[in-house]
Chain A
Amino acid sequence: MTNPPRELSPSTEGELYTLNMGPQHPSMHGVLRLVLQLRGEQIVNAKPVIGYSHRAHEKMAENRSALQFLPNSSRIDYLSGMIYNLGYCQAVEKILQIEVPDRAVHIRIIAAELNRISSHLLWFGTFLLDLGGITPFLYSFDDREQILDILDSVTGSRLTYCYGRFGGVTRDVDDEFLERSTAFIKLLRTRLLMYKRLVTDNVILRERCIGVGVISKDTAFRFDVTGPSLRASGVAYDVRKAEPYGGYDRFDFEVPTEEDGDTMSRFHVRIREIEQSCRLIEQAIASMPEGDILPKKMPKRFQIPKGEFYFACESARGHFGIYMVGDGSDIPFKMKLRTPSFSNLSAMPETLRGTMLADTIAIVGGIDIVMPEIDR
């Protein structure tokens, strides 16, 4: 009943054959295609083929003003759209040196962390679905649905939010929103206990996850794997701590890490991150100041000054970077979106080598990729 370390067996008996997984496959998230070379059920070579949902966000960014790119930002990664949307706003604010009012900072943190929880919950559900557990999937979607309702009540959208504005947010939150968020966090804590009994402690899940898909510190380093996948390998790197942005340095939260770097560690890191996000939301609600949600003084046109700029923020999947080059007009000369899943997925061929076919699903599901984010 243990997981022996599965290395590529030295025997080269039997022919290799190619199995094409995806882009239309029940458990290839979005439209990932994996070309697997197999010997029996063991993977000799895995080649991810991406680009099926390439929407040319970077080209679009070069052809419209920075403000007009705003609705694009949440569509880069539709599962943590709020984080991307606010992250893009924060990048432009940094470039244009716009001061964000305190209330907006707090609202943004609540919204972003709610979004992070919803993204992790979705990952939790789909990961279990990949492993064949359908019921936890529906439970977590039930919880996630409540987050969507809460965010819907203030942003008006459920998935691709366009809530941020340069300098603040579009709509002020009311007491009902804060109460609902508090109540939800209370509920989520009891649900997490339930998930522990149903899922985390489950012997089948543990057998499926422990020791599977180990990403070592060295591998993570060479591929620049970030986010929960990196923290599961024992590196406490979180952009919110390393380069504090958007007021995260005013709040108290931990960066959960695990040592083993396997799928189970990634699982635990995400569950613990949900708890940390809950803490952040509680603090932000408790210290919510009164005031404006947009700065009083705003530039008329958002002109990107000449020069290059880099802004990093922590999405639910890792380090999301915006590299922008301006030429003085309000249309960026160049915008590069450094998305975490892209790097995380690029480490997959190495991680998948030598594992079983069934592990492919667990590993690819476990690193939590979002295809539109990779393809951009």
Chain B
Amino acid sequence: MGYFAKLFSGSKSLVSGMGVTLKELVGTTAQHKAVTLQYPKEKPVLAPAYRSAIKLIRFEETNSHDCVACKACERICPSFCIKLDGGKVEGIKKKRVQTFEMDFALCSLCGLCLDVCPTATLEYSKAYDEAGYNRDWRVDLVAEFRDYEEEFIRKQRAIEEAAAAEKALKAEQAKAAKEKAAKAKAAKEAAAKDAAPKDDAAPKAAKEDAAPKDASGANDGHTDAEDKS
């Protein structure tokens, strides 16, 4: 490229660059479109996935958290920032956490504790503009639930009683189903002894009776029998 051609193309590129910045300048001043967030005056909208220090979820039915102090989170935490302790509480079957301390200064927000939690009672809080003056940033996760502990025990006991009642009912149903199945089996066996080909009614009935699947392994023998038939 010649000397003047180069000079010209260079100048052209400079002018076009200045055009870009002028456009942005006009854009900011005339259209009031600064892209910055005037932080303390405007607050950012947080994404639903936003991660801050973990906290315990307050469940509606018990008005409290559901931590059973299994310590899975304490074991998995790569930063060793969770310390919790708990145990048996009078009146309910579930174990209950007594202290749940978490050092946010150590936390790396990886979310492994949320993954391993068997009762899914951990979630991220949404605090985002907190600051501290020292390295210790211990958060007592149970603190907000202390006042509700009695209420929780009451409600939990009610739930457990209800659950026990349901379980008993189910067990009864299962027992009934088992008996029925046994009867059907006996009938089937009898029918098989009598005449092998025409006996589809009895197993069908047994199948319908055995519908409540969660009634433990009582009907195992029956299904085996049915499969074979």
Contacts and interface: CB of A to CB of B under 8 A. Distances in A.
Contacts of A72: 78
A142 B34 CA distance: 10
Contacts of A234: none
Given A72-B78, A155-B49, A197-B16, 18 more contacts: A1-B3, A64-B78, A67-B76, A71-B78, A71-B108, A142-B35, A149-B47, A154-B47, A156-B124, A157-B51, A162-B108, A171-B49, A197-B19, A198-B17, A198-B20, A198-B21, A203-B9, A204-B14
B50 interface: yes
B163 to A, nearest CB: 27
A175 interface: no
Query: Chain B: interface secondary structure?
Result: helix
B124 A202 contact: no
Most interface-central of B17, B21, B77, B108 (chain A CB within 10 A): B17
Interface of B: 3, 6-7, 9-11, 13-14, 16-17, 19-21, 24, 35, 47-51, 76-79, 108-112, 115, 124
Interface residues of A, number: 33
Interface in A141-186: 142, 145, 149, 152-157, 160, 162, 165, 170-171
Contacts of A75: 108
Contacts of A157: 51, 109
A69 interface: yes
B172 to A, nearest CB: 34
A245 to B, nearest CB: 23
30 contacts: A64-B78, A67-B76, A68-B77, A68-B78, A68-B112, A69-B78, A70-B112, A71-B78, A71-B108, A71-B109, A71-B112, A72-B78, A135-B21, A142-B35, A149-B47, A152-B50, A153-B49, A156-B49, A156-B124, A157-B109, A160-B108, A162-B108, A197-B17, A198-B21, A199-B17, A201-B17, A202-B13, A203-B13, A203-B14, A204-B14
A162 to B, nearest CB: 4
Among B16, B19, B21, B108, the one with the most A-chain Cβ atoms within 10 Å of its Cβ is: B108
B112 to A, nearest CB: 7
Nearest to B35: A142
A374 to B, nearest CB: 21
Interface in A166-223: 170-171, 194, 197-199, 201-204
A69 B108 CA distance: 11
Majority DSSP secondary structure for residues of A touching B? helix
Given A72-B78, A162-B111, A156 B13 contact: no
Interface of A: 1, 64, 67-72, 75, 135, 139, 142, 145, 149, 152-157, 160, 162, 165, 170-171, 194, 197-199, 201-204
Contacts, number: 78
Contacts of A69: 78
Contacts of B21: 135, 198
A156 B126 CA distance: 10
A157 B49 CA distance: 8
A285 B108 CA distance: 30
B13 A70 contact: no
A10 to B, nearest CB: 29
Contacts of A1: 3, 6-7, 10
A217 to B, nearest CB: 27
A10 B48 CA distance: 64
Contacts of B108: 71, 75, 160, 162
Contact of B112 (A67, A171, A203): A67
A202 B78 contact: no
B109 A162 contact: yes
A142 B36 CA distance: 9
Given A197-B16, A201-B16, A203-B14, A70 B78 contact: yes
Contacts of B109: 71, 156-157, 162
Contact of A152 (B17, B49, B115): B49
A218 to B, nearest CB: 30
The 7 A-B residue pairs whose C-beta atoms are closest, nearest first, are A71-B110, A203-B10, A156-B51, A68-B78, A156-B49, A153-B47, A162-B110
A154 B111 CA distance: 13
Contacts of A153: 47-49
B51 A165 contact: no
Contact of A202 (B7, B17, B47, B49): B17
B71 to A, nearest CB: 15
Nearest to B21: A135
B24 to A, nearest CB: 8
A202 B15 CA distance: 9
A51 to B, nearest CB: 22
B20 A194 contact: yes
A72 B14 CA distance: 45
Nearest to A142: B35
Nearest to B110: A71
A72 B65 CA distance: 30
